[in-house]
């Protein structure tokens, strides 16, 4: 599932979707996304389908329980276990050349949708089915991109709401194709320039930067494709990046990098743990350990999750540093650690 194939698929559905009512448009785009995944990555399709079916059953069963019931609040977390299907059946996914992150994103979106459906006073069958399937297979974000709930897409199709202000069409197409340039061209060029993952004495810093740039360009570019592709279809989804190179400390970095996922782990992991009495620093670390495991169950990402959690919990805030020199050192150290930990997670093991 290459960026080019994804871009072509989105462009192919836009002329048809443009003439549809918004709810029918959402259903159409979701069905195309499901068919796209079934053709190019059937193992991924079945994992997402199982997750959607589980979510439909859970939502119906848990709605009968009191709203404050611990079972109703926490049993939906079992859906997140499906994230690890790609690790358990890694050879199957590798043979299909499937970007396993697509499954991980879909599982999280379906989980978020389930939680929000359970938080609603009442839901209809069509709302549940469309919201959950859109969480799993919304075409613009089917590879990777922002984390969002399918209920937010459903809410945008309500009859009393007009077409959202998504910005000038010309700007959206520039953003759309700019994302493709980042994900397909710049990312590959940086991978080639890095010369692989071998680190020499003098070239190590440049290799680390090139490898990090390769990952960033691919992720940022695919996020731009998702955001602008959704907007061209008439839907709003969250932005994922806000100039992370300008981060002044680790907290500011996570306010700029993969913002939707950072908000997700803080809302669905940190807050429940902290409200149940767990120390805020420990809860923060646990939340980021999950984020590491969500990427991949392997030592590099476990180290990455623990390190980011500890940094979020204990690293000094730039605003608390009184001298300019200390703030500069903190900023350089933050970005250097981000690059180093990225290498540890993706290439060291």
Whole-angstrom distance, CA of residue 114 vs CA of residue 30 = 17
Neighbour count for residue 336 (Cβ, 10 Å)? 12
Span 161-185, mean pLDDT? 83
Kindly state the tokens that stand for 243.
Answer: 């100039």
Per-residue pLDDT at 267 exceeds 60: yes
pLDDT one-digit tens code per residue, 109-168? 999 999 999 999 889 999 999 999 999 999 999 988 899 999 999 999 986 555 666 667
pLDDT one-digit tens code per residue, 6-56? 999 999 999 999 899 999 999 999 999 999 988 888 888 999 999 999 999
Kindly state the tokens that stand for 300.
Answer: 């590099």
Whole-angstrom distance, CA of residue 19 vs CA of residue 127 = 22
Whole-angstrom distance, CA of residue 302 vs CA of residue 311 = 14
Whole-angstrom distance, CA of residue 179 vs CA of residue 171 = 12
Average pLDDT in the chain: 90
Q: In this predicted structure, what is the pLDDT of residue 304?
A: 97
Q: In this predicted structure, what is the pLDDT of residue 290?
A: 94
Q: In this predicted structure, what is the pLDDT of residue 197?
A: 53
Which residues neighbour 333 within 8 Å (Cβ) at sequence distance 6 or greater? Answer: none
Whole-angstrom distance, CA of residue 237 vs CA of residue 144 = 13
Span 272-291, mean pLDDT? 94
Confidence of residue 4 (pLDDT cuts 50, 70, 90): confident
Q: Give the Cα-Cα-Cα angle 273, 276, 282 (nearest 5 degrees).
A: 40
Whole-angstrom distance, CA of residue 150 vs CA of residue 344 = 33
Q: In this predicted structure, what is the pLDDT of residue 164?
A: 62
Confidence of residue 192 (pLDDT cuts 50, 70, 90): confident
The percent of residues in the chain predicted with pLDDT above 70, rounded, is 91
Q: In this predicted structure, what is the pLDDT of residue 155?
A: 93
Q: In this predicted structure, what is the pLDDT of residue 132?
A: 98
Per-residue pLDDT at 273 exceeds 80: yes
Q: Quick one: which of 113, 195, 109, 187 has its CA closest to 144?
A: 109
Whole-angstrom distance, CA of residue 156 vs CA of residue 193 = 43
Q: In this predicted structure, what is the pLDDT of residue 200?
A: 62
The percent of residues in the chain predicted with pLDDT above 90, rounded, is 72
CB-count exposure of residue 324 (10 Å: 0-12, 13-18, 19+): exposed
Which residues neighbour 167 within 8 Å (Cβ) at sequence distance 6 or greater? Answer: 231
Kindly state the tokens that stand for 272.
Answer: 């429940």
Q: In this predicted structure, what is the pLDDT of residue 269?
A: 95
Per-residue pLDDT at 97 exceeds 50: no
Query: Distance from CA of residue 53 to its chain's centroid?
Result: 21
Whole-angstrom distance, CA of residue 281 vs CA of residue 150 = 31
Confidence of residue 100 (pLDDT cuts 50, 70, 90): low
Whole-angstrom distance, CA of residue 107 vs CA of residue 84 = 10
pLDDT one-digit tens code per residue, 81-96? 999 887 776 655 554 4
Whole-angstrom distance, CA of residue 237 vs CA of residue 249 = 26
Whole-angstrom distance, CA of residue 121 vs CA of residue 113 = 14
Confidence of residue 349 (pLDDT cuts 50, 70, 90): confident
pLDDT one-digit tens code per residue, 209-250? 999 999 999 999 999 999 999 999 999 999 999 999 999 999
Q: In this predicted structure, what is the pLDDT of residue 98?
A: 45
Q: In this predicted structure, what is the pLDDT of residue 99?
A: 52
Q: In this predicted structure, what is the pLDDT of residue 33?
A: 95
Residues across the chain? 349
Q: Quick one: which of 142, 120, 117 has its CA closest to 131?
A: 117
Q: In this predicted structure, what is the pLDDT of residue 187?
A: 92
């Amino acid at each position: 599932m290459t960026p080019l194939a994804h871009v072509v698929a989105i462009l192919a559905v836009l002329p048809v979707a443009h003439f549809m009512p918004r709810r029918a448009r959402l259903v159409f785009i979701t069905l195309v996304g499901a068919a796209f995944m079934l053709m190019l990555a059937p193992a991924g399709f079945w994992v997402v389908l199982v997750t959607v079916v589980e979510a439909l059953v859970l939502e119906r069963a848990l709605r009968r329980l009191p709203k404050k019931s611990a079972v109703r609040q926490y049993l939906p977390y079992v859906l997140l276990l499906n994230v690890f299907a790609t690790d358990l059946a890694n050879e199957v996914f590798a043979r299909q050349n499937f970007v396993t992150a697509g499954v991980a994103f879909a599982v999280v979106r379906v989980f978020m949708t389930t939680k929000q459906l359970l938080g609603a006073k009442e839901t209809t069958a069509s709302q549940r089915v469309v919201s959950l399937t859109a969480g799993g297979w919304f075409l613009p974000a089917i590879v990777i991109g922002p984390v969002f709930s399918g209920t937010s897409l459903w809410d945008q199709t309500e009859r009393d709401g007009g077409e959202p202000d998504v910005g000038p069409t010309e700007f959206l197409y520039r953003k759309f194709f700019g994302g493709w340039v980042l994900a397909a061209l710049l990312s590959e060029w940086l991978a080639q320039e890095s010369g692989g993952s071998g680190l020499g004495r003098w070239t190590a810093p440049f290799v680390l930067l090139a490898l990090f740039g390769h990952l960033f360009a691919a992720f940022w570019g695919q996020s731009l494709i998702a955001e602008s592709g959704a907007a061209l279809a008439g839907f709003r989804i969250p932005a994922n990046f806000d100039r992370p190179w300008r981060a002044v400390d680790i907290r500011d970095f996570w306010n700029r990098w993969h913002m939707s996922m950072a908000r997700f782990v803080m809302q669905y992991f940190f807050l429940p743990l902290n409200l149940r009495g767990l120390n805020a620093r420990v809860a923060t670390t646990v939340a980021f350990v999950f984020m590491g495991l969500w990427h991949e169950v392997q030592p590099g990402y476990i180290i990455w999750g623990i390190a980011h959690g500890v940094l979020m919990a204990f690293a000094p805030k730039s605003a608390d540093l009184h001298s300019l020199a200390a703030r500069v050192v903190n900023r350089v150290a933050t970005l250097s650690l981000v690059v180093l930990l990225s290498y540890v997670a993706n290439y060291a093991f």
